[in-house]
Amino acid sequence: MKKFTFVNIIFFVIFGVFTGVLWAYGSPIPLIPGAVHFRTFAFIIPAIGFLFGPVSGFFAGYIGTLVWSLLGGYFIAPHTLLADGITVALSAALPAYVMTRKKSLDELLVNKASFIWKSLFWSLLFGCLMILATSLSLSFFTGLGYWYCVVWIGIADVVPIALTPFVVVLLAPRLKRIQTIIPRV
């Protein structure tokens, strides 16, 4: 396993704050006021996971969730810190981890069609698992119905998460230089 450096920590914070600000101000459509909004940029953190490594995706997802919830007024103390933060972070890290365990991103992108379908599958699978877990927590801490939360969080996240493979294919060749500055972890 690669060790992460101080540079990685700086970029975890940068990616997380960038994500949180986009979620708070670039996604202004509330679906459950005070709890869920349409996350037009939900593809960012899984893309960060693929482009800069699963650990980078994890921390960007967790920090992004905290920043978004504080800026957008969606902070629900135990839910945001535990269930939402951790499950969103895992939904960013696990697709990249599963796919890049044995092959590098460059090797995976040789066959773009295969990468798109496989990463779409893993991103949506872990995104759906995140939705189920987050809905359970949200319904517990707010009193909202579980399936009500599943439907609205699903609407908020599934379509944007489906953009992940296309964003990665588009950005990977363009980010070659920055990937040499930021160690992939």
Whole-number Å distance between alpha carbons of 35 and 150: 12
Q: Can you list the domains of the chain with their CATH numbers?
A: 6-176 (1.10.1760.20)
pLDDT higher at 176 or 80: 80
Higher-confidence residue: 97 or 185? Answer: 97
Taking residues 18-27, report their average pLDDT.
88
> Quick one: pLDDT at residue 33?
79
User: What's the predicted TM-score (pTM) here?
Assistant: 0.90
Q: If you average pLDDT over each of 68-77, 145-154, 171-180, which comes out highest? A: 145-154
Amino acid type, 87: T
Return the beta strands (E) in the chain as ranges: 30-32, 36-37
Please tell me the predicted confidence (pLDDT) of residue 1. Answer: 53
User: Are 130 and 91 within 8 A, CB to CB?
Assistant: yes
Answer whether 83's CB lies under 8 Å from 133's CB.
yes
Give the integer Cα–Cα distance in Å for 88 and 43: 11
- Higher pLDDT among residues 5 and 43, named by residue: 43
Is a pLDDT exceeding 80 seen at residue 179? no
Give mean pLDDT, residues 74-85: 87
Helix 164-171 crosses helix 112-142 at what angle (to 10 degrees)? Answer: 130
- Please give the residue that has the higher pLDDT: either 24 or 67: 67
Residue range 55-77, pLDDT digits in tens: 999 999 999 999 998 998 888 88
Q: Kindly report the average pLDDT of the chain as a whole number.
A: 90
Tell me what pLDDT residue 38 has: 85
Mean pLDDT within 79-92: 92
pLDDT of residue 114 exceeding 80: yes
Structure confidence at residue 76 (pLDDT)? 84
